[in-house]
Structure 1
Amino acid sequence: MSFQYCSEVIKDFEEALENGDNYDVIIIAGGTIYLIENEAFLYKDPVSTLQVVNQHEPFEGLKDYCQEIISEEPRILFSSEKFPLLEKSIITMVLQRDDLNMEEIDIWESLLRWIFVHYQKSAKMILYGHQKI
């Protein structure tokens, strides 16, 4: 890779970071240290963040860190508009923690909201023939 190309890529990343109000992309350059020190990404979009770190093994440390933050402040995740979009495995991972700082009734309300959205989606798929019974 040429130096000129690298400098163009760096310039593009800098522009994206400076003007990144409309970006739904996590740019990882130089490891997870930067992301941990600047945890705003988790508060802005916890659902997408968890989905990304859960899918890629190299992000194991970042996944653990995100789980700790969510355990301390679970409303970040549970009150997110995107909460119903979470995969079952991620919800299970979060709910299995013993240190989740949230009232049980609030957890159940969020879980019921998630189930309702997924039940509706499954019912529509069956109704319109997208899923074999």
Structure 2
Amino acid sequence: EVIERALGGRRGARVHPATRAFQALRIAVNDELAELEAGLVAAERVLRPGGRLAVVTFHSLEDRIVKAFLAERSGRTPGGSRHAPEAPRGADPSFSLLSVRSTPPTEAEIAANPRARSARLRAAKRTAAPLWRVAA
């Protein structure tokens, strides 16, 4: 109620204004973004070639981390400038993307579970390439 009053009420919004405040507190207290990054690196380490990694994200901070990790590890990094010297080639791709875009929930999934409305699925397949070195 305090957050709702401070923001001036809902003004027809479906989601309560305090939702984001409590989400931010939960993310910070649980160190969820660092845990997600560690989980992605661990998945690369434990998956055998041909193994599948599927990650469901529920907000843009998580999705951005997963998208960047899979883009980097699949070799989908932007090319350099044609005017600059060629950049050194990185490690071989340790994943191949199963879909370039994220997969949103279907209308039926949202109807069955309204909390799924913000979910996004990203998936990739582990290649036979060696693990990437991780900065400590």
What is the TM-score when the length of structure 2 is the normalising length? 0.27
Structure that is richer in helix per residue: 1
What is the TM-score when the length of structure 1 is the normalising length? 0.27
Specify which structure has the bigger relative contact order, considering alpha-carbon pairs within 8 angstroms and separated by 6 or more residues.
Answer: 2
